[in-house]
Structure 1
């Protein structure tokens, strides 16, 4: 079973370099065009598109599905972005000034995020057995999940960058990570 997680398109907070986390910020026009472009350039290998319930992920899923000739089927809260607590809405310099140790009040612990992400992959697989799934998610969740299952570090996940996970003998592994995002 393979599931490709792909990060949503750009939002105004992305372009302003603000930490989004679980705050529900919509796509901007650049993000919409990124999704349309990715939908035209992704391989035609998917059976279904699903997403996190956050608006930026749902809209990206709709735009991708339209280009791929597919339908969006449901949402999966387990693949929602990590909550960064009180740091959400702040820029990098603001965050470092307030919390130089990067321990933001109210932030979801990394191990809880990864465990939630694994549950999300398992639930998506159970919901769509035998189907090739494209699931729109979020940068920190995809990066930390990929690091955990591969045992190696990786760069941040760009908007519309896909990472494919495969379940082998009951465990997930990363099987495809492109060298660069489909669109910046």
Structure 2
């Protein structure tokens, strides 16, 4: 079973470098165009599209599904972005001034996020056995899940950047991305 998590398109808060987290900020026109472009360039390697319930992810999923001629099925709260508590809506300089240690009041821990994201992968796999799933999620969730599953650090996840996970037995692993894969097709 493989599930490809892909980050939603750009929002105004992304553009303004504001910490979004679980705040439901909509896509901007650039984000919509990113989703349409990605949908036109993604290989036809999926059976269904799903997403987190946040509007930016749901709209990205709808735009991708239209381009891929697929259905959008369900929304999974477990793949919603990490909550950054009181830091949400603030810019990088504001966050560093208020919380230089990056311990934001009300923030979801990395461990809780990773545990929740793994549950999300399991829920998606159970709902779509044997299907190739494209699931629109969020940057911090994808980055931290990738680091936890692979055991290696990684750069932040760009808008519409995909990462594929594969279930092996009872565990998940990050699929390496050979030439011609989903990841390399989007980065070209």
Q: Could you say whether these structures have the same fold, taking a TM-score greater than 0.5 normalized by the shorter chain as the test?
A: yes
Q: Distance in 2 between matches of 1:44 and 1:76?
A: 23
- Residues 114-153 of structure 1 correspond to what in structure 2 (within 5 A)? 114-153=114-153
Q: Distance in 1 between matches of 2:125 and 2:56?
A: 23
Given that residues 95 and 102 in structure 2 are in contact (C-alpha distance below 8 angstroms), is that contact kept between their aligned partners in structure 1? yes
Aligned to 1:148, the other structure's residue is in SS state: helix
Moved over 3 A (4+): 176-183
Shift of 1:176: 3.7
Aligned to 2:74, the other structure's residue is in SS state: strand
Q: Distance in 1 between matches of 2:42 and 2:146?
A: 20
Structure 1 residue aligned with 2:172: 172
Q: Distance in 2 between matches of 1:99 and 1:3?
A: 35
TM-score (norm 2): 0.95
Q: Distance in 2 between matches of 1:180 and 1:79?
A: 24
Give structure 1 stretches of 5+ with no counterpart. none
Given that residues 149 and 173 in structure 1 are in contact (C-alpha distance below 8 angstroms), is that contact kept between their aligned partners in structure 2? yes
Given that residues 159 and 181 in structure 1 are in contact (C-alpha distance below 8 angstroms), is that contact kept between their aligned partners in structure 2? no
Q: Distance in 2 between matches of 1:14 and 1:182?
A: 20
RMSD: 1.3
Structure 1 residue aligned with 2:72: 72
Given that residues 42 and 185 in structure 2 are in contact (C-alpha distance below 8 angstroms), is that contact kept between their aligned partners in structure 1? no
Structure 1 residue aligned with 2:93: 93
Shift of 1:162: 0.2
Q: Distance in 2 between matches of 1:137 and 1:100?
A: 27
Structure 1 residue aligned with 2:63: 63
Q: 1:181 to 1:97 in 2, by over 3 A?
A: farther
Given that residues 2 and 132 in structure 1 are in contact (C-alpha distance below 8 angstroms), is that contact kept between their aligned partners in structure 2? yes
Is 1:2 the counterpart of 2:2 in the alignment? yes
Given that residues 164 and 174 in structure 2 are in contact (C-alpha distance below 8 angstroms), is that contact kept between their aligned partners in structure 1? yes
TM-score (norm 1): 0.97
Give structure 2 stretches of 5+ with no counterpart. 178-182
